[in-house]
Amino acid sequence: MTSDTILIASDHAGFALKETLEKELEALGYDVEDLGPQSDASTDYADYAHPLAERVSSGNVKRGVLLCGTGLGMSYAANRHANVRAAVAWSPEIAALAREHNDANVLVLPARFVGEDEGRAILKAWLDTPFAGGRHARRVAKIEIGDEPTKENS
């Protein structure tokens, strides 16, 4: 494992596409760590989102991929972790903008609404698009709450 390792996890609804995208990441030469599940038996998305997001939040790894039916449950849970920017992307264009404008460090796929080829294209767009910085860096810096001095404590 290196800090460039990409974590991947899903619930039962995202399991099949997780397996496909894990193979795709390996074929592209990425080091991948699969945080489960290992079958499509019914699971709870938060049980997989939190361990992945915790490691991105701490800086243990830089990036992760989560999958559930709609992408929503996974994104809600992951985005509760500081410095995690988990973006639900249902097209390559959204994935590219999530990187370019929002510096998304977690990609979330709505597995019940994207096919295998579309999933691969979304993943590729997210992997290949750099953060644009500039005015977007200022905006991204305003996302986190709790770190900044408030009127009361400044």
Active-site residue, selected from the candidate residues 12, 50, 81, 101: 101
Tokens 């030469």 locate to 29
Radius of gyration of the chain (CA): 15
| DSSP β-bridge partners for residue 18 | none
Q: With the C-alpha atoms ordered 112, 94, 79, 66, is the resulting torsion angle positive or negative?
A: positive
**Distance between CA atoms of residues 15 and 48, nearest Å:** 11
Rounded least distance, CB 141 to ligand RB5, Å: 28
From residue 72 to residue 101, what is the string marking binding to ligand RB5 with x (rule CB under 6 A)? xx----------------------------
Closer to ligand RB5 by Cβ: residue 71 or 96: 71
* Token reading at 117: 């080829």
Verify binding: residue 141, ligand RB5, rule CB under 6 A. Answer: no
Q: Which stretch binds ligand RB5 (CB under 6 A): 50-58, 70-78, 121-129, 134-142?
A: 70-78
The answer to whether 6 touches 25, Cβ cutoff 8 Å, is yes
Known catalytic residue at 68: yes
Who's near 79: CB < 8 A, 6+ residues apart? 53, 85, 86
Catalytic residue flag (residue 101) = yes
Instruction: Determine which residue in the list 69, 121, 124, 140 makes contact with ligand RB5, applying CB under 6 A.
Output: 69
- For residue 17, count CB atoms less than 10 angstroms from its CB and return exposed for 0-12, middle for 13-18, buried for 19 or more: buried
Site for ligand RB5 in 45-64 (CB under 6 A): 45
Closest CB 30 distance from ligand RB5, rounded Å: 24
Binding site for ligand RB5 (CB under 6 A): 11, 13, 45, 68-70, 72-73
